[in-house]
Amino acid sequence: MFFQSKLIAFTMSASLFLQNNGDSSRLEIKGARVTLGRHPDCEVCLKSNTVSRYHARITVS
């Protein structure tokens, strides 16, 4: 007796939800990490004096 089986691929995803003065946006994290800060090299650039140049790093594992 044989049984049919299906291969189901599961993918993990992570999202970052940003809010600013009532506006909100969703950013899908595609890599293993994302950096937030004021510096232009950051994946998420935040223009605020209360945020440091390299403010935070989110790592997905």
| Contact criterion met (CB below 8 Å) for 44 and 35 | yes
Indicate whether 2 pLDDT > 80: no
What would the pLDDT profile of 7-38 be if each residue is shown by its tens digit? 666 666 788 888 888 898 898 888 788 999 99
Please tell me the predicted confidence (pLDDT) of residue 7.
Answer: 63
Please tell me the predicted confidence (pLDDT) of residue 11.
Answer: 67
Nearest-angstrom CA–CA distance, 37 and 51: 6
Q: Locate the domains of the chain by residue range.
A: 30-60
